[in-house]
Every structure is written in C-alpha cells, then in structure tokens.
Amino acid sequence: MSNSQDLKTLQSEEVELTFEYERLQNCSISLDLTRGKPSTRQTDLSSKLDGILEDNFICEDGSDARNYGGLYGLPEARALGGELLALKPEQVLAGGNSSLTLMHLCVDQCLRLGLGEAKPWLADTKNPVMLCPVPGYDRHFAISESLGIKMQNIAMTDKGPDRAALREAVKNPDVVGIWCVPKYSNPTGCTYDEVTVAAIAQLPGTAACPEFKVFWDNAYSVHDLEVPPTKLASLMSHAQESGTENGVLLFASTSKITFAGSGIAFVGMSESNLAALGKHLAYMTIGPDKVNQLRHVRLLKNNITHHMQKHAAIIKPKFEAVEQCLTQKLGNRNIATWTKPTGGYFISLDTLPGLAKNVIKLAANAGVKLTPAGATYPYGRDPQDTNIRIAPTFVKLDDLEIGMEVVALCIQLATVRQQLENHT
Ligand SMILES: Cc1ncc(COP(=O)(O)O)c(C=O)c1O
C-alpha cells in the first residue's frame, strides 16, 4: 500500500471509530472498573457471619472471646492464617481487619526500631530503598512513600520479578527490602515459580544490607479460578533452607474471602520475630477483635476451599468476558497485550507506548472509570505509559461487557490517532 493510501485508510478508520465512540458517549454509561472489590453476590456468600455465634462465645481453649487478652489472636484464628500462609500457627499473628495496617506496622518497625535483634534500617542508611516489582500494587508503594522510603522498579516476568535484576539491586546497601505479591500478583496475575521463590528467600542472606526484609503479601493465596489451582512454593521453607527465616514477613487477610474490610488480617514470620513484633504491638492494643475472629473460624474452618470455589463460580465468567472481548476486538492486531490470570482479582492490560493515559481519559469521557494511569508504578510514573489495570470483580457481568467494549474501542481510537500523528 502506498503512503497516501495508508493515510487514507487510517483517516477513514479514525472517522469510523470516532463515530462509534460518540455513539457510546451518548449511552449514559457509568461504570467503575478501578478497585478490586468483591461484588455483593460474593459478600453474600459470607452473610452467615452475622449471627453465626448464636450466643456461643467460647473458644477452643475454653476462653471467652468477648474479653480482653490474646494479643496474637485466637489460636484457632492463627491456625486459619497458617493455612493461608503455609505456616505453623505459632508463626502467625491474627490481627484486626486490614493486612495493609500490619504491613505498615512492620515496615515502620524495621525502619525506625528494628525487628527483634535487628538494627533499624535507619541506623545504617539515610536513604532506604525498597524494591518494587512492576507493575505492582499502588498501596504498597504508598506505604513506602509515606514512610520516606525510596522505591526502585524491578521488571516483572511471567515467573515473578526478574532474578538477575534482583541480584544486582541488592548489592546496594541502601536497598532494605522488597514488596512481593507472589500468587496471582496484583495486577499481572502471575504466580512466582519455585526458582524465583527460592531466589527471593535467599536475598536476606546475600543482600549488602544486613537487615534486608522480604514483604510477602500473599493476599490471593486461595483465590483460584481453576482446578487444580496454581501452586505457590513455600517462602518460609526456602528461607529455612537458606537460613534466612528472620528476613521474611508474610501477610494475608480474609478481605476477599468474607467481607472486604471486615475480616481478619494475618502476619507470619519466625517465632522470634513475632515475639518482637508483639512487644511493639502491645503499646497499641490489648488485643484484636476476637469475636470477629471466632465468627470467621466458625465459617471457614475446614471450609476454605469449598467457600472459594463459590467465589470462583461468580467471578470466573467475568474474567472470561474480559478475555473474550479483548481477543475479539484487539486480538492479532499488535496494538495491545494482556494477561490471562488463573486467579486473583486483576488483569493487566498494556497498550502501545505512550497511550495508557490517553485511553484512560477517553474511557472516562465515555463513562468508564479505570484505575488512574501510572498507579501500578511507584510515584505514579509508568515510564512507558502503557499499563492499565482492569478490576472485573465488582461490576455486574453485562455491565462489564459494556465497559470492556468501551475500553477496547478507546484503545483502537487512541492507537489510530497516534498513528495518524506519527504518519509522515
Ligand atoms: C495485594 C493486595 N494486598 C492487600 C490488599 C488489601 O488487603 P486488606 O484489606 O487486608 O488491607 C489488596 C487489596 O486490593 C491487595 O490487592
């Protein structure tokens, strides 16, 4: 095709796409695909939590959940956390409603006070840096930033963070830790392979910073969409083999198992580290909400797999709808790539360089709210401006289909407009 024919094709494509875009703009669409929240049908799966205790507040050890005590949580709740994190109950603290709070607490303790025998990071460096596999979770980045910790991007592969980049990065003594979402990572959905888990478990032993810590946020450990589920190797087992068990901190919660924001959060670590964390925590609280912990144990004990299968039945069709729409509208056109997670809450979509912001703006102007451009990168800076996080769980299936149609159209329109601009 000659240059002028090529230009004409692009121009007519742009006119057609603009026409379709304006038609959708007139459809009064109002959809929010931003945050990974469970839908009402999903939270309904745990409605039994209300009233499940039927006046029986007595725990397995004979104590009464209604009274003070138990800084580390109910033993049976710690066992539940152990199931999620592949740890012994003694290595787990069952806390309040938010794992992010526990993450903030632990990062802050490592930074200013040191965990257990460890020196605080600030004793050795004025410029602590955390490694951030990208794209990643914006609220992890916000914790680092709020505590004055700098961030360094590490590229993600489909097997986890790039191992060679990690080996190189930890040679810098300012590098004090790493954020990881090891299973169904937010947002790519990737699960770290065993070689990567083993390599990360070794980092606290090989890093130039003697107090290097791995923050292992296993938020989606049981959020499988397929049978058999994807397996994640045990970080703690690998850490024990490498003699680095004091360098790893693991987190989980029931936020996306029962009620988002009204569940139980867990942190797991070596027993000596846990004792040190407990000392610090004791200044803030006499103990967690054990009544809510007891409710959760009564609902979930020996029932997690079955309960999560019910979640999967609700959300799998939504992941399939996103995949179907993207394949149909954008497949084989080399204008976008996206992940096909087998669990978790997100799909990561990449446009051609320089277009994500524009696509998100076009979608917003057609009534579809997407996670702000750059949010999946530290400081909100996506260096290539390509990444868009899709959160399909909250909206209804037919709304999601409409929303994804808008997203796909906006990608086509932004791409064709860019091609026209670049056309010589
Ligand atoms: C990776 C990850 N960690 C933690 C959270 C929030 O956890 P919580 O509700 O326990 O604070 C989310 C929520 O989207 C998440 O995606």
What pLDDT is stored for residue 1 in this prediction?
54
Which parts of the chain have pLDDT scores under 70?
1-2
Three-state SS at 374: coil
What pLDDT is stored for residue 5 in this prediction?
72
Nearest CA among 122, 106, 115 for reference residue 174: 122
What pLDDT is stored for residue 4 in this prediction?
78
**Whether the CB of 253 sits within 6 Å of ligand 1:** yes
What pLDDT is stored for residue 423 in this prediction?
87
What pTM does this model have?
0.97
Residues near 421 by Cβ (< 8 Å), separated by ≥ 6?
A: none
The tokens of 32 are what? 């929010």
**Whether the CB of 219 sits within 6 Å of ligand 1:** yes
Is the CB of residue 374 less than 8 Å from the CB of residue 258? no
Beta bridge partners, 132, equal: 153
CA of 35 to the centre of ligand 1 (A): 10
Is the bond preceding 210 in cis, omega lying within 30 degrees of 0?
A: no
Is the bond preceding 228 in cis, omega lying within 30 degrees of 0?
A: yes
pLDDT tens, residue by residue, 202-225: 999 999 999 999 999 999 999 999
**Whether the CB of 262 sits within 6 Å of ligand 1:** no
**Whether the CB of 254 sits within 6 Å of ligand 1:** no
Positive or negative torsion for Cα 274, 280, 286, 288: negative
Determine the residue of 256, 259, 264, 315 to mutate for testing ligand 1's pocket, defined as the one with the most ligand atoms within 8 A of the Cβ atom.
256
Alpha-carbon distance 251 to 266, whole Å?
6
Q: Whose CA is nearest to atom 13 of ligand 1?
A: 36
Is the CB of residue 263 less than 8 Å from the CB of residue 253? yes
Determine the residue of 217, 218, 257 to mutate for testing ligand 1's pocket, defined as the one with the most ligand atoms within 8 A of the Cβ atom.
217
Burial of 1 (0-12, 13-18, 19+ CB in 10 A): exposed
Alpha-carbon distance 120 to 204, whole Å?
15
Q: Which atom of ligand 1 is nearest to the CA of 256?
A: 9
What pLDDT is stored for residue 3 in this prediction?
78
Q: Whose CA is nearest to atom 15 of ligand 1?
A: 219
